[in-house]
Amino acid sequence: MKSFDAIVIGAGQSGPFLAARMVEKGMKVALIERKFLGGTCVNAGCMPTKTLVASARAAHVARNGAVYGVNLQGEIAIDMKVVKARAETVTMNARNGLIGWFAGMDGMTVIYGHGRFEGPKTVSVNGETLNAPRIFLNVGARPVIPDLPGINDIDYLTSTSIIHLDTLPRHLAVIGGSYIGLEFAQMYRRFGAEVSVIEHGPKLASREDEDISDAIADVLRSEGIDIHTGASDIAFAKSSDGITVATDSARIDASHVLIATGRKPNTDDLGLDTAGVITDKHGYITVDDRLATNVDGILALGDCNGRGAFTHTSYNDFEIAAANLLDGDDRKVSSRILAYALYIDPPLGRVGMTEKQARASGRKIMISTRPMSRVGRANERGETKGFMKVIADAETKKILGAAILGIEGDEVIHGIIDAMNAGTTYPALQWSVPIHPTVSELIPTLLGDLKPV
């Protein structure tokens, strides 16, 4: 049996950085990864997909060049092999950077294999048994495949496999109208494929307020994406030239099907029951406010704990664990203000409560909205789709939440994220003097238009 000061299972956006901090403190750490360093973000998530989004945007801008007085001769052609290779390069650069970083660390042992509990302090991997007083789980999540009629009879794609396509689908049917599915829908439409989005629920991006959801649908429809919401009785069958997707109200002749109906944690093959670690009914590892499980010395970080589903929340889990274990601090998951983005174009930046949540909270609230068509920078860039929205507490004057669907919305939202984290009241933020011309300069104006509801 090999002994370590700590064992980290999974090399996503929490585990490796925590392992590195512990090594800096003179600890001996084993980092176990069954496949690739970097987790979903580096290998099948943010980095490759946003690289693909960038290629799709380049195609979109080129097609619309004439609007800006830039005339290109002939049709815009997409070389999917180059598109794929570019995304792979970005992924490999990041992955190899991690490999090189860890190789230079004394005290770090990287083991490729499937780690599994043999007890609350012991883990087996590749036929060896390791033990440590502290074990950290950062095993991530994977796509959920729903049990729909005919699904096992077709060759479907997931968010993991679609990034490896080097040919353009004739017609891509996206099953699921949430964040992952919508990004791929717009991306492949801009590459030149016909695209249909099929969503069981009554609206796209169901977490958002109805006005945001409607605006997202308008953006996608304006680019020729076919949207079917409220779809039931979804079924699949092979056809002579592809796949038939049938619902209660539509029949789609697709060449490819992307299943984007959510994700589930990679916790079902870790031997958690052997260690006595409790999970909820969905398989997420139950943790307290400091990321500790019910078993002393075992913590769960990142997607597998159900406390966040983003790279930045996973990284913040590392920051919380490191602060508490190594720096004598007392950080809590409940202290973070959730923020995220939807990377369609224009993007959606979101932070804090939705209007629906704020109304349900019983607070006296104020709301302000402003269409992007009234933002000078958006008009100058010729990108005026979407709108800004902010919700505030009428009594405390604190900002409760915001949504910016529009050009650079994923960046502009950070002004509000920072203000919320600092506890700044909206009247104080109104007196900032932002740079002109920017999209962010409209934040004080947006706040100045807050009205009670």
Q: Which of 191, 178, 113, 213 is nearest to 309 (CA)?
A: 178
DSSP string, 122-158: EEEETTEEEE-SEEEE---EEE-----TTGGGS--B-
Q: Check whether residue 322 and residue 248 sit in a common domain.
A: no
Q: Check whether residue 313 and residue 226 sit in a common domain.
A: no
Domain with 17 in it: what CATH number?
A: 3.50.50.60
Contact 94, 38 (CB under 8 A): yes
Contact 275, 117 (CB under 8 A): yes
User: What are the residues facing 8 on neighbouring strands?
Assistant: 31, 136
Q: Nearest 5°: phi and psi at 432?
A: -70, 155
Domain with 381 in it: what CATH number?
A: 3.30.390.30
Of 274, 308, 335, which marks where a domain is finished?
A: 335
Mean pLDDT per 10-residue section of the chain, whose length is 453 residues: 97 96 97 96 96 98 95 92 98 96 95 98 98 98 97 98 97 98 98 98 97 98 98 96 96 98 97 98 98 98 96 97 97 97 98 98 97 97 98 98 98 98 96 96 97 96
Q: Check whether residue 270 and residue 223 sit in a common domain.
A: no
Question: Would the pTM of this model clear 0.85, i.e. be above it?
Answer: yes
Residue 168 is predicted with a pLDDT of 98
- Could you give the CA distance from residue 138 to residue 144 in angstroms, rounded to a whole number? 18
Q: Check whether residue 30 and residue 114 sit in a common domain.
A: yes
Q: Identify the DSSP state of 349.
A: E
Exposed, middle or buried, 148 (CB in 10 Å: 0-12/13-18/19+)?
middle
End-to-end distance of the chain based on CA atoms, in angstroms?
64
- Could you give the CA distance from residue 210 to residue 438 in angstroms, rounded to a whole number? 27
Q: Check whether residue 102 and residue 218 sit in a common domain.
A: no
- Could you give the CA distance from residue 159 to residue 206 in angstroms, rounded to a whole number? 19
- Could you give the CA distance from residue 80 to residue 186 in angstroms, rounded to a whole number? 15
Q: Check whether residue 34 and residue 133 sit in a common domain.
A: yes
Range of the domain at 40: 2-142+264-335
Q: Check whether residue 253 and residue 274 sit in a common domain.
A: no
Residue 235 CB: number of other CB atoms within 10 A?
13
Of 245, 261, 277, which marks where a domain is finished?
A: 261
Q: Check whether residue 138 and residue 162 sit in a common domain.
A: no
* Cα angle: 54, vertex 312, 412; to 5 degrees: 60
Q: Check whether residue 246 and residue 327 sit in a common domain.
A: no
Of 261, 276, 292, which marks where a domain is finished?
A: 261
Q: Check whether residue 137 and residue 224 sit in a common domain.
A: no
User: What are the residues facing 366 on neighbouring strands?
Assistant: 392, 452
Residue 21 is predicted with a pLDDT of 97
Active site residue 200: no
Residue 74 is predicted with a pLDDT of 87
Residue 72 CB: number of other CB atoms within 10 A?
10
Q: Check whether residue 136 and residue 77 sit in a common domain.
A: yes
Q: Check whether residue 156 and residue 282 sit in a common domain.
A: no
Q: Which of 408, 255, 341, 276 is nearest to 49 (CA)?
A: 341
Number of domains in the chain: 3
